[in-house]
A and B are shown apart, each in its own frame.
Chain A
């Protein structure tokens, strides 16, 4: 199973690198995605009994959730990519497809790895394979974006490595032989040396927070999301962030086992609320709607951090939010990509009346906005509301108040831009490109929107069971 999930995409990536036809190559994406989703579902159905021989390749409930989310999102994006690349005949998509497939492979590795060093390797690898994707457009701006993505990301991830070493050192300090497998860390957690554990947590929070895009390590995010194609943006915002959050979950779990909840929650709440505030501030008057989406992603990483910081009763909502946020981000980025392609601009100076020009994409963009800002009856509402209830249960009323306030600020900042984009009469001076909403570029977004809506009205029992398992697992209950 693990082999299929991890290596199959990598093999397909290699295949994509050798396939010569620019027209056939994109179809490798859906093919791989279908196999991957099928395997994922098989794994999930098979339940807990999945384990490889290796101690550090285990698929635990949080891993399942992220795996499921990434796999589904990738499936949708893969079909979209086929439709998208049809409009990009101008240049070869060899690197694009290969990297996208490799990306799927390494993310799957992240979800499986129970060895923090291995996990670090996988996440760093995911950074490296996504860099060429951001660079796909070959423009000066995309070079700049890629450069910043690589540099800031590498520095952050380097800190994560240092943090990982600190963690190992903490165990070494406890008189054990140093280890980095999750099981043994959890087992010996109470004996770990506190100072090293705390330092490790800070470094890992910053390091993986850089990959998640928590403020103030988010600086690469608007550039990368703004310059990358929509489908890449979707995978970054729905895949990379989730996997980095999974890594953070591991660390949180160790600290929780070590009884350091007070410490971790203080830091997580601080950085989470800070991220929400920064997102709100930078959204006000944002004229580039793809950068705006990047800030929305920052905000939601903040929400995840807050949920984790509240812990306990909020964990369910947090895990659910990983799913809902990932899917909704897919809707937003893909539809925004369509609008961008049609208008040839992503600035509200030129883009108006998208609902007239692109009834489907425009409507989906608007719906996605309502969903991501936590309006019922969409999925994110349920998850954010669950997090809020958790905050109340924990008696963190101030946090809850700030949480709601920032949500409102973000709603105002984001809404002004989104409505400006979709409403009104389309400008006549901007000539249309050849883009039209097609099946391949439309259907995936619709499906993903349907999923978001479903998660807001009905959560399938197996899924909620899985979420429950994840919460129990995170709280180290058998």
Chain B
């Protein structure tokens, strides 16, 4: 009981953390500090509740009578929600600390208070979404979250690009909400109440419709391809700590929604899991392919979020298949991988966004091809960024690997060993996962190489330097968590297992145990060994050849007379070969210069990768609608005679419509 109340109190604290600042003068930093203080305090309070309920026992259902015709105020915390709640109580708090200097009140007097208000509201509403056990309450919290995120992301609405991105987001999220409204109405129609308790029996068709509605509605938020259209723009437009929260936590609300609904639905045909597996694979590969094509630091990170959502979805799909076929091991590995990756991505993606924010803060540019050589100027940020990049590529010994490893194990097990039947179609997805892994390496090597390594490509980076401690500390915390979870994954497993058991309504769900199937001990051991080995080697080379005494020279320029910094391999050229590989999907548009004559004038080459779904399909559709619909305006041309004629006409039409029904 107390756990739930702690969390509810935390939700209140978070939601209203921005309010005091609104009552204070525009330039006083006190309001922002209070907000951060409230965020941190509330998060700690909430974490205490989470820690209590991760243990497995569901906290009792708290119901408060609610004066609405439909729906009640019913909240409950079970391990599944607790796992996500942890993320909600970690990332936003760190983000608000980061915001103290990143979005300092004195520098943004016009927007800071509004940002603080909606930032807190966003965090609180996300927590509310996770504990809600009633459809209407869920919807309310959900929409508050969406709207708060909109306002937090569009604080800089002077900028047309921000407005556009925000508008696309708003339309997308509203479309998703419409699906969810339909879903909950159908849910009530099928189960007789809005209560989110597991439903007993249900016609397969209804369950299927509910499932599809859930995947669509929540998919909009999670960013499943092709419902991801809003994601890159919004993440690029938002302030970096807001992007961190959106990408690290808010996308996961979509994942949570799908998990919750699949947990509640009684039947689960195999095609559900198959659909999710396919969607996950497509989302993953396409997401990372688009990421490679980006020239904008934050857009790239946003697309890689889409990829990670794809990986999570694969895990969920595997678990669903396991549930349909009654295979606890697949459920354990799939769900374990999904949940673990939810956390992992919730740690390293905010880390990367905060790092990107630090760069943006000091260089005021997000264009990869204007950056470069930041490693020499911002060494601390670079260390964290590299950690984040290695983690997000799923490479050992960091946390990203563990999740993908579990997923691989699960997918390989669907081959079916020895006697037990398999589901090899699922196993083939492992190859997609492998491809994603390799492409992620390509993507983030490009990112690191273009931003931090080499030499500066423009004077934008000249005054760049490491950010103040208040911005470093959150990154430190996140990076530390990444390393810790990478080296000691078994620490997180019990919580994941509990959550998986709550999700899987299997008869033998008690037998679900990840540790039994996956030797995580080896992972830690080898991870530590690897770290030690690298450390020893590095130490040797450091002792044998101290940096200061070793000779220095310019990079070998292959005999070119005057190599300039512009001659470096740019981000676009690094990505080009892969972009060409996926040209069919990415549809890169490039503008080739024509060069003739002995001494040609300076020519420019430029290649852009736009979003195929958004710029190729959605926007044209809207544009044509915008052209077509106004044609109907000829119907309203101010001739009052015509208007009277309409009245006569509709009388006749209505008489006709009435007669159609074959009245006695």
- Hey, which bits of chain A sit against chain B, CB under 8 A? 144, 147-148, 151-152, 155-156, 159, 194, 198-199, 201-203, 205-206, 210, 216-217, 219-220, 222-223, 262-263, 266-267, 270-271, 281-282, 284-285, 316-317, 320, 370, 373, 375-377, 381-382, 385-386, 388-389, 391-393, 400-401, 404-405, 407-408, 411-412, 415-416, 419, 423-425, 456-461, 464, 467
Contact = CB atoms under 8 A, between A and B. Distances in A.
Contacts of A458: 66-68
B160 to A, nearest CB: 8
B167 interface: yes
A148 B640 contact: yes
B532 interface: no
Contacts of A159: 647, 651
Given A266-B657, A388-B185, A464-B69, A423 B647 contact: no
B629 A285 contact: yes
A425 B143 contact: no
A292 B644 CA distance: 22
A8 B69 CA distance: 36
Contact of A389 (B70, B144, B160, B632): B70
Interface in B149-163: 154, 157-158, 160, 163
Contacts of B638: 144, 148, 223
B646 A320 contact: no
Interface in B125-141: 136, 139-140
Contacts of A411: 171, 174
Contact of A219 (B136, B163, B643): B643
B559 interface: no
Give the secondary structure class of B's interface.
helix
Contact of A216 (B142, B650, B658): B650
6 contacts: A194-B664, A262-B663, A263-B661, A282-B636, A284-B626, A385-B181
Contacts of A416: 167
B67 A386 contact: no
B108 interface: no
Contacts of B632: 281-282
B651 to A, nearest CB: 5
Interface size class of B (residues with CB under 8 A): 35 or more
Contacts of A198: 658, 663
Interface string B621-664: 00001100110110110101011101101110011011011011
B182 A377 contact: no
A284 B170 CA distance: 16
Contacts of B643: 148, 151-152, 219-220
A219 B139 contact: no
B188 interface: yes
B157 A386 contact: no
A289 to B, nearest CB: 16
Interface string B537-563: 000000000000000000000000000
Given A263-B663, A408-B175, A408-B178, A320 B139 contact: no
B658 A459 contact: no
Contact of B67 (A155, A376, A464): A464
B454 to A, nearest CB: 38
A460 to B, nearest CB: 7
Given A206-B650, A263-B661, A401 B644 contact: no
A98 B366 CA distance: 62
Nearest to A217: B647
B651 A203 contact: yes
B640 A152 contact: yes
A270 to B, nearest CB: 5
Nearest to A195: B663
B649 to A, nearest CB: 7
B67 A459 contact: yes
Contacts of A282: 632-633, 636
Contacts of A391: 185
A376 B140 CA distance: 5
Find the residue from A201, A375, A376, A457 having the highest chain B CB count within 10 A. Answer: A376
Contacts of A408: 174-175, 178
Contact of A375 (B143, B644, B646, B650): B143
Given A147-B640, A206-B651, A282-B636, A270 B657 contact: yes
A206 B647 contact: yes
B189 interface: yes
A460 B175 contact: no
B184 to A, nearest CB: 8
B655 A460 contact: no
B629 A205 contact: no
A316 B638 CA distance: 37
B69 A382 contact: yes
B189 A393 contact: yes
A427 to B, nearest CB: 12
B614 interface: no
A219 B66 contact: no
B147 interface: yes
A408 B630 CA distance: 18
B199 interface: no
A462 to B, nearest CB: 11
B578 interface: no
A461 B67 CA distance: 7
Contacts of B175: 408
Given A151-B640, A263-B661, A266-B661, A400 B185 contact: yes
A166 to B, nearest CB: 12
